[in-house]
C-alpha cells in the first residue's frame, strides 16, 4: 500500500489524503430509494445514445439523485451542471433553469459523456473528464503520452487537477459497486415508484397562479413536477414562458387542453412580463435610485433583500418594479443612460466601491453582506484570474456608433468589461449572434480565453443595448438568487495574504466559496493582484438547514 520502506513522513502524507463524511451511508440509502423515480427515464436516454447503463451511477457521486442540489460554486441539479457547461445543452435563463430538470439534464449528461468518450477513447478518462473537463484530460494525455488513468493520477501535475478530480473515477467505481449490490450493504430497499406525468405545451404566456387555479393543482405540486421553473415564475413575477412543456400529474379524465381553452383571453398573453433592473454605478445611493424610479428606499430594500442599505456596491443589480419603471422620470433616466454610454477617454483608475458617503469600511464588526455560481471551475479561475495584461478594472463600458460609411441601419458597436462567470458564449446568446462572430470582431484565436475586466468589443445588430444589458443583469441576479436560496453567510473571517497566495487558491482550496462573492466583500481590493500583507474579508458559507442543497 505504501510501497517500500515507508517513513513517518509517508504516513503523515497518507493522512492528508484521507477524506471522510459523516452520515454518508444514510444519505446513500436515501439516494437509492429516490433513484426509483427516474431510472426508467434515464435508461431510455442512455440507450438512445448507446452508452453503458453503468454510467447511471454517476448521480450518486454528484448529488445522490437530488435534483435540488446546488453547490457553493454554482453546479446545479442531479447531474451538477455548471452554467458554462449546461448552456451547451440546456435552457438556462431567469425563468427556466433546465439543470434542475432530472429528465432533461439526464439527456444533457448523456450527450456530454458521449462527447467525452469520442474525444478520449476510454471510459476512465471520459468519466474523469466529467469532473475535470475534457480539455484538461486531453492535456494530461498529451503531456504523459498515455491513456492510463492510474499513470496520469500518479504523474500529472496541474493547478486544477486536485483531490476531487484525481479521485472522481474511484468514487464512481465505489458508487457503482454499492448501487448494484445494495442488498449487501443495506438489505432490502423500497424504491420510489417511477414518475408518471402527462405533458402540455403552453401556447401563450400565462401566470402560474392563474394556471394552477384553472387546473386545480397547487403551485407546490406544479413545482415538484417542473423543477426547472425559477422562483420568478413560481411567485408569478414572471409568466410561464410560451412553448414551455409543462409536466402534470396523471389524473383520470383530466384533459389539460380543454381546461386551458376555458381560461379567459385576457389572462393569456403574447409577451413576458416587462421587468427592469438597475445596475449600481459609482456615486449612487439608495435615496437617489428610489427618487429616480419614483419609489421608496424601503421598497428597494425589501425587493432586493438588502440587509445593510449603506453597503450597496458598484455593479450590484437591483430589481425595480415594472410599474415604477413606467412612471420613472424619463428625463433623468435618459440623462443617466447617456452618461453610462459615453466613451471614456482614459481608463478610470478608481476603486470599484460606491462613493464614500454611501459606504463603510469593511470590518468584522460592521460588515453585513447583502443577500444576493462548478464551471470547468478550476480552469475558468485560472484563465480569468491569472492571464497577463489584464486591463484596468476601472475601465467603463462604452458604446460607439460605426462610422457612417460602414454603418447599417441597425449596427452599433460597443465595448464591455468581462465580469465574473461570463463567457463569449454568453455574450453571443445575449446578442443573438454566433460566437465565432465575436471572436472575429475581437481577433481572438479559437480556444483563447477571456479574462476578468478584459475589454470586449460587441455588436448590437440584433438586440438593443438595453435588451443585452437586461439579459446580462438577469444572469448575475439568477446566480446570486440560486446561491442564497441554499447557502447563508454564517460569519466572516479576516484573512491576511501570505506570500504565494492568490484568489484562486483561497476560493477553492481554503474557503470553498465562489470568487464573485469574495469580490462583493472586498470592493476596494484588486483580487487579481493580491500582495503579501493585504487583508481580505472572507465570507464563511453555511448550508441553510431547510434547503436541499
Active site residues: 62
169 alpha carbon, distance to own chain's centre: 24
- CA angle (157, 424, 427) in 5-degree steps: 150
243 class by beta-carbon count within 10 Å (0-12 exposed, 13-18 middle, 19+ buried) = exposed
Going by C-alpha positions, the residue among 22, 62, 143, 45 that lies closest to residue 374 is 62
- Region of 446 (left: φ > 0; alpha: ψ -120 to 50; beta: rest) is beta
What is the rounded CA–CA span in Å between residue 28 and residue 500?
39
Q: Is the dihedral of CA 21, 24, 27, 33 positive or negative?
A: positive
Helices (H) and strands (E) in the chain, counts: 25, 9
Q: Residue 255 is placed in which grid cell?
A: 384533459
Going by C-alpha positions, the residue among 67, 111, 64, 66 that lies closest to residue 87 is 111
Cα distances (Å, whole numbers) of residue 29 to 39, 65, 182, 192, 227: 15, 11, 9, 12, 23
Instruction: Give the three-state DSSP class for 489.
Output: strand
- Region of 216 (left: φ > 0; alpha: ψ -120 to 50; beta: rest) is left
Residue carrying the nine cell digits 444533457: 108
Instruction: Give the three-state DSSP class for 176.
Output: helix
Cα dihedral 82→88→89→92 (10° resolution):
60
Q: Residue 365 is placed in which grid cell?
A: 464588526
Amino acid at each position: 500500500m505504501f510501497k517500500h520502506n515507508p517513513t513517518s513522513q509517508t504516513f503523515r502524507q497518507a493522512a492528508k489524503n484521507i477524506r471522510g463524511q459523516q452520515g454518508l451511508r444514510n444519505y446513500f440509502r436515501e439516494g437509492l430509494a429516490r433513484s426509483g423515480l427516474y431510472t426508467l427515464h434515464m435508461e431510455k436516454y442512455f440507450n438512445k445514445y448507446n452508452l453503458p447503463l453503468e454510467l447511471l451511477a454517476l448521480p450518486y457521486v454528484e448529488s445522490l439523485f437530488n435534483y435540488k442540489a446546488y453547490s457553493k460554486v454554482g453546479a446545479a441539479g442531479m447531474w451538477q451542471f455548471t452554467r458554462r457547461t449546461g448552456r451547451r445543452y440546456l435552457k438556462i435563463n431567469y425563468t427556466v433553469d433546465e439543470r434542475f430538470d432530472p429528465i432533461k439534464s439526464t439527456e444533457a449528461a448523456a450527450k456530454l459523456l458521449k462527447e467525452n468518450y469520442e474525444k478520449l477513447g476510454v471510459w476512465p478518462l471520459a468519466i474523469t473528464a466529467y469532473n475535470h473537463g475534457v480539455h484538461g484530460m486531453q492535456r494530461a494525455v498529451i503531456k504523459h503520452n498515455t491513456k492510463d488513468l492510474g499513470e496520469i493520477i500518479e504523474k500529472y501535475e496541474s493547478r486544477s487537477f486536485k483531490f476531487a478530480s484525481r479521485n472522481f473515477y474511484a468514487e464512481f467505481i465505489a458508487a457503482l459497486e454499492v448501487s448494484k449490490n445494495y442488498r449487501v450493504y443495506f438489505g432490502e430497499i423500497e424504491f420510489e415508484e417511477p414518475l408518471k406525468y402527462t405533458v402540455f405545451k403552453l401556447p401563450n404566456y400565462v401566470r402560474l397562479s392563474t394556471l394552477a387555479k384553472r387546473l386545480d393543482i397547487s403551485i407546490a405540486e406544479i413545482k415538484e413536477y417542473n423543477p426547472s421553473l425559477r422562483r420568478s415564475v413560481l411567485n408569478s413575477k414572471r409568466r410561464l414562458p410560451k412553448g414551455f412543456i409543462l409536466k402534470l400529474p396523471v389524473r383520470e379524465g383530466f384533459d389539460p387542453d380543454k381546461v386551458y381553452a376555458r381560461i379567459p383571453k385576457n389572462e393569456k398573453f403574447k409577451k413576458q412580463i416587462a421587468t427592469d433592473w438597475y445596475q449600481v454605478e459609482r456615486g449612487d445611493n439608495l435615496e437617489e435610485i428610489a427618487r429616480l424610479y419614483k419609489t421608496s428606499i424601503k421598497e428597494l430594500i425589501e425587493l432586493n433583500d438588502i440587509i445593510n442599505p449603506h453597503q450597496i456596491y458598484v455593479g450590484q443589480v437591483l430589481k425595480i418594479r415594472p410599474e415604477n419603471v413606467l412612471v420613472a422620470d424619463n428625463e433623468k433616466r435618459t440623462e443617466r443612460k447617456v452618461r453610462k454610454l459615453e466613451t471614456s477617454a482614459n481608463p478610470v483608475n478608481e476603486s470599484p466601491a460606491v462613493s464614500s458617503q454611501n459606504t463603510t469600511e469593511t470590518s468584522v464588526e460592521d460588515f453585513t453582506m447583502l443577500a444576493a455560481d462548478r464551471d470547468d471551475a478550476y480552469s475558468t479561475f485560472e484563465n480569468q484570474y491569472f492571464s497577463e495584461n489584464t486591463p484596468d478594472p476601472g475601465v467603463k463600458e462604452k458604446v460607439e456608433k460605426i462610422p457612417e460609411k460602414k454603418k447599417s441601419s441597425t449596427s452599433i458597436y460597443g465595448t464591455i468589461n468581462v465580469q465574473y462567470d461570463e463567457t463569449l458564449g454568453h455574450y453571443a446568446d445575449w446578442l443573438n449572434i454566433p460566437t465565432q462572430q465575436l471572436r472575429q470582431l475581437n481577433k481572438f484565436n479559437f480556444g483563447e480565453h477571456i479574462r476578468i475586466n478584459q475589454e470586449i468589443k460587441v455588436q448590437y445588430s440584433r438586440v438593443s443595448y438595453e435588451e443585452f444589458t437586461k439579459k446580462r443583469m438577469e444572469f448575475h441576479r439568477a446566480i446570486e438568487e440560486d446561491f442564497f436560496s441554499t447557502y447563508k453567510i454564517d460569519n466572516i473571517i479576516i484573512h491576511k495574504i501570505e506570500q504565494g497566495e492568490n484568489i484562486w487558491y483561497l476560493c477553492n482550496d481554503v474557503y470553498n466559496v465562489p470568487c464573485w462573492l469574495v469580490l462583493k466583500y472586498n470592493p476596494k481590493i484588486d483580487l487579481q493582484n493580491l500582495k503579501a500583507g493585504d487583508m481580505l474579508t472572507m465570507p464563511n458559507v453555511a448550508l441553510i438547514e431547510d434547503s436541499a442543497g
